[in-house]
Structure 1
């Protein structure tokens, strides 16, 4: 069932925001209220991007890519020159995905090489390998992955709704059930806040969203249930390397955009693969 001509995922997202508005804004603490308001703004932005069509997806992908690159460069200790190489690629990749989706995969090896060129040519041989590795990983995670948002632009709301609900449920289940025997296990040393309860809760929520929106498939469920926590763990690894808690301080309730988009940047390519396979 849909309201006002909205797609099923957009309807579900709107229902969730409306249903949680009063308890969150009245009874929630400042962090939870900030997160709810941020989610509401994100929902509007995504809805507008999907309504515009592929051009909206291009603009959204560029914005996500560029902002996350700026945050990542600081965390990874990359140079200003590395940042501009990544930013240039982050602007071009979504446009290329709109013009010729198949070319994005063909272009990726050359983009990875381009990311490694400056570190290899630097006058600091000891730092060349870590810098080249970080730059190439940034090209994969923050350039190629956001470009997938363009390729699957017709499922943009479904993708972001599934990731959002999976993340929220993982946090909620981890908090509420984390004290139960077995459920409180922390399987990832790089992200000790992750618990078995959170992982199972996130997977259950992803299945529920896909079922309610009539988009359920085991491939999409696997993409969300595995990709969402993996993205968060990758971001935790990067932040732990930098010795910081958050990637930024400007996004209310979350820190930086990379703190919010980390799961999306892994699930998006998996969704794209799943969409191509069906």
Structure 2
């Protein structure tokens, strides 16, 4: 377990996040009316301001706050995911159970999730995920249902345990992921205009994501980790990979479902998965290199 506690990170992160949000809010407020994206940027800024307050406030309470935050995010995210991939009530119940039971520190220790790739934890999760399809005798979509449920368990509830077990590193990863999103947007908008490799799409899954955006995301991750006093090359590479792949993964699931957003309730983003998709994979990659 890393000894970088939230209490060490918090005094470094709060003024940086407040300053960035303040500067961004002022910039958005000053945009002229003719800018087509003004309304959308204002909506996104409002969502980020609320999200920053919730995340920083919850993680400041250490294990208790992190557990409650993981519960809240997990319950909403698994509901959106189950709807996107058309899972039934049984699979939804399993995912909800995982979202509720996995975050508490006592249970994490009980099933050895301090190592997120522990064989016992994976075995228990796999059995729970395949039961609904097995018990229903589904010969048409049974394998697909079981696979989608197992993946959803790993992608959402297991990933969110990182908010608890990573301690102060979790706050650093959250800040770095947020900065990566801003950096990717700026990089895609500005650096891609230089042409060449920077303007090329990263993947057919999301033509709007360019290599310029990846470069911007890399700078954002570095700035976020440095602001939290947690920068190492290994953690930077892990979080950057998680952010980039997590963004593409979320896009892939939405494209397969034939929708633009995972929901409609979150201003400027759509659904919770649109906001935290990169964070989920970033938490997993951070656990892989930090625990």
TM-score for the superposition, normalised by structure 1: 0.92
Structure 1 residue 55 corresponds to structure 2 residue 75:
no
Comparing 90-99 and 236-245, the one that deviates more? 90-99
Q: In the alignment, which of 130, 137, 141 is matched to residue 127 of structure 1?
A: 141
Is 1:214 aligned with 2:229? Answer: yes
* 1:235/1:262 contact within 8 Å kept: yes
Aligned to 1:94: 103
Q: Provide the residue aligned with 1:226 in structure 2.
A: 241
Counterpart in the other structure of 2:219: 204
Query: Is the 1:10–1:158 Cα contact (8 Å) retained in structure 2?
Result: no
The alignment status of 1:143 with 2:157, answered yes or no, reads: yes
Q: Which runs of 5+ in 2 are unaligned?
A: 1-8, 32-36
| C-alpha distance in structure 1 between counterparts of 2:170 and 2:106, whole Å | 15
**Paired positions, count:** 272
Distance in 1 (CA, whole Å) between partners of 2:216 and 2:250 is: 20
> What is aligned with 1:246?
261
Residue 158 (1) aligns with residue 172 (2) = yes
2:52 is equivalent to residue 43 of structure 1: yes
Two-structure CA RMSD over aligned residues (Å) = 1.8
Task: Name the SS for the 1:198 alignment partner.
Answer: helix
- Mark the CA change 1:20 to 1:187 in structure 2 (over 3 Å): closer, same or farther: closer
Structure 1 pair 69–97 and aligned structure 2 pair: CA distance change class (3 A): farther
Q: Deviations over 1:118-150 (max 9, x none)?
A: 113333312111111111100110111011111
Q: Which moved more, 1:109-118 or 1:247-256?
A: 109-118
The DSSP-based 3-state class of the residue aligned with 2:208 is: coil
Q: Name stretches of at least 5 consecutive residues in structure 1 with no aligned partner.
A: none
The residue that corresponds to 1:64 in the other structure is: 73
Q: Aligned equivalents of 2:106 and 2:272: distance in 1?
A: 22
**Structure-2 separation of matches of 1:35 and 1:223:** 26
**TM-aligned CA deviation for residue 205 of structure 1:** 1.7
- Residue aligning to 2:20: 16
Mapped partners of 1:81, 1:67: distance in 2: 17
Question: Does the CA contact (< 8 Å) of 1:101 and 1:151 recur in 2?
Answer: no
| 1:48–1:132 distance in 2 versus 1, CA, 3 Å | same
How far, CA to CA, are the matches of 1:275 and 1:210 in structure 2? 14
Which range is displaced more, 136-145 or 103-112?
A: 103-112
